[in-house]
A and B are shown apart, each in its own frame.
Chain A
């Protein structure tokens, strides 16, 4: 089965001609390697020994009883090496890059988790690495900037536009267009031109495959609902992928509601965006009537993005996944609650998924069995939280 370039009408390759041959080359390399026994066993070994997989599926008993509704399991991607699901993707893509004979890698990053994960994998393979990061994100995710530098990556500040993830991705694409002969572009979510959305989805779907086996082992039945936050949408796609065909399982993606959807300051591309082309693919995008891309807003740098992966747009239109959002304030409250209730400090991104559950708890019964993707840990967010909660 060849990897898809479109999901319904969404996706495609809206990028300069200069990089189209490289996308063809990438698609061909991935098609060849994904079923190659050596590649697969290398990837499997890395996920086990370097990333620390499988990650636990943890029954959050105190959270369940505190919310007073369903049984809640957390898929503990926060326990991956480097602290988020992003590394599942980067070790896979670095293996690809090496196989393709590339000698330099670049990436964009918002929260810095993908930047750290790329820098980590690049260090592991001994490949030079440059990370583009918006100046605004550099300010709010200091810890990850330091980590990337320690890992030997060059962190390139981006000062154009909204100085966040969107602009970092623009500059990463510009770098790639310029250095495409030797450089591999490690895209960090299920976004960008084909074949990236399909490759990243497949590399992240290890989350869902594990969760499926783990929940059956623990409960002897399938979950009734899966919940994950959606920035570009990779942790959500990774969890959802093996469940998509099980139509009776409800799937929920939680976007960044920012200061509220009606304030215009949010990152809810699916709920409030229109179809448009951003960063190489057709999807839902926050834009004005002339197609100028709008600034997103979120407390969480990883969700502060005016686009979303094309497959999510498709799944939204199909009605297979429901999308909703929670505000900055709700996410911050969930961040604090999970820390105090379970001894787990979540990433602000992941806190959106918890906050959704808290807000809609009345919808659930004791019969419900929920898996929330805890996509990352909150170490990177503690200074920001301290400022907002006046803890220091």
Chain B
């Protein structure tokens, strides 16, 4: 069983808390502090973004964080190094756009991810139809490719995705890009039920989760909750690293309490 498989196995009683931060945001150094805060706040898994110049699945908040990291010269190698420093403490999953993998070389990237102790790769612009080869390349190295399903996915496509999924399935809560939203879609439970019908792979929900209440609501139907844009805007607004880290830790602790309830 893969590292992520074991993680979800262990945590069946509570939905997993899966915070996201763009690697190297707001700086390489500060990002490390934030990852410490993730751990102190009770994160079960870390999702780390590889900054990309054209992140077309991301809303303005994540886009701006990636741009800031790129402007500071952050590379995929830097993010892999950061991952390697944390992967012995918590499972780390990278969010990486396909062109970064393609330019690196599929095998070389899978190799480097495995060497950094990365458990899984989320590739938002690599739908299952294009992913076959990369899934095999990664699986041979013990790395899961985390596939995404969307509310627009047909039953047939959910089946295709389930057939190739491992680790967990990333369920996109709404049709759209990343970004905090005031309310969750009321169709989320139906959507998750449709996916659940077709797979035993754990389901994590992301895109738009921004409050402890929303996280709790998601947790009633899913095995994991991904929180990204909300955390990045907290970091952006805090200005200073220490303040940001404290705010993030407090927020994640609150979310975790809701998840345990």
Contacts and interface: CB of A to CB of B under 8 A. Distances in A.
Interface string B185-220: 000000000000000000000000000000000000
Most-contacted residue by chain B among A14, A20, A178 (CB, 10 A): A14
Interface stretch (A93-101, A274-282, A311-319, A368-376): A274-282
B98 A277 contact: yes
A5 B159 CA distance: 22
A285 B102 CA distance: 12
Contacts of A291: 52, 97, 99-104
Of the four ranges (under 10, 10 to 19, 20 to 34, 35 or more), the interface on chain A belongs to 35 or more
15 contacts: A12-B130, A13-B129, A14-B98, A16-B172, A17-B127, A17-B147, A19-B152, A174-B56, A178-B177, A179-B175, A180-B175, A276-B103, A277-B125, A291-B99, A293-B53
B229 interface: no
B157 interface: yes
B102 to A, nearest CB: 6
Interface residues of B, number: 41
Given A170-B54, A181-B175, A290-B76, A17 B149 contact: yes
B61 interface: no
Interface string B46-84: 000000111011011001000100100001100000000
A286 B13 CA distance: 48
Contacts of B154: 21
A174 B177 contact: yes
A292 B70 contact: yes
A103 to B, nearest CB: 16
Interface in A274-325: 274-280, 282, 285, 287, 289-293
Contacts of B150: 16-18
B141 to A, nearest CB: 20
Contacts of B121: none
Contacts of A275: 102
Interface in A1-55: 12-22
A287 B128 CA distance: 25
B176 A166 contact: no
A14 B126 CA distance: 5
Contacts of A177: 56-57, 175-177
B127 A20 contact: yes
A282 B102 CA distance: 10
B67 A160 contact: yes
A279 to B, nearest CB: 8
Most-contacted residue by chain A among B63, B128, B176 (CB, 10 A): B176
A292 B152 contact: no
B56 A289 contact: no
